[in-house]
Amino acid sequence: MKIRSLDPDRDQAEWLRMRLALFDEEDVASQQEEMAVMLAAMLAAPQENGVFVAERPSSGLAGFVEVGSRKYAEGCTTSPIAYLEAWYVDADSRRQGIGKALVAMAEAWARQHGYQEMASDTVIDNVVSLASHLAMGYAEVERQICFIKKL
């Protein structure tokens, strides 16, 4: 499976499909808006944002990873930090090394741009994501529950 940079012209439909699956959403307009923001950020500051995709041998995509930059991340000692913003592999393509290859590409991008640390997160009950991160050498540094109250 080939891992490459996102091609905004030919990959948008597949990227949208996978983002909707990852975020368990049906709000296409909201996801398209977030994608437009990410594309604009990539074009304006390619050293701070990137999207990489796993290309299927036949046609279409099997996964993607979005990487960005943050000033701070829990457990990190440097700034800025490269950050895995989103990471997804289609169910039929899992457990074949695609997720690992996508993250390796994101890490290579981070090293190329001078980042010294890569951070990520997942929701507290996503045991698959936790296991995947740990298997690739990431260390859990914190657990938290966030609250909100409408006023």
Question: What domains sit in the chain, N to C, each tagged with a CATH number?
Answer: 2-121 (3.40.630.30)
Whether 64 and 15 have beta carbons less than 8 Å apart is answered as yes
Residue 67 has what pLDDT? 95
Give the mean model confidence (pLDDT) for residues 78-101: 94
Residue 116 has what pLDDT? 95
pLDDT, tens only, 17-66: 998 898 876 777 877 887 787 777 777 777 888 999 999 998 899 999 99
Supply the pTM of this predicted model. 0.86
Q: Angle at Cα 97 formed by Cα 49 and Cα 13, nearest 5°? A: 50
- What residues have CB less than 8 Å from 90, skipping those under 6 apart? 18, 21, 62, 63
- Could you give the CA distance from residue 89 to residue 104 in angstroms, rounded to a whole number? 14
Residue 30 has what pLDDT? 78
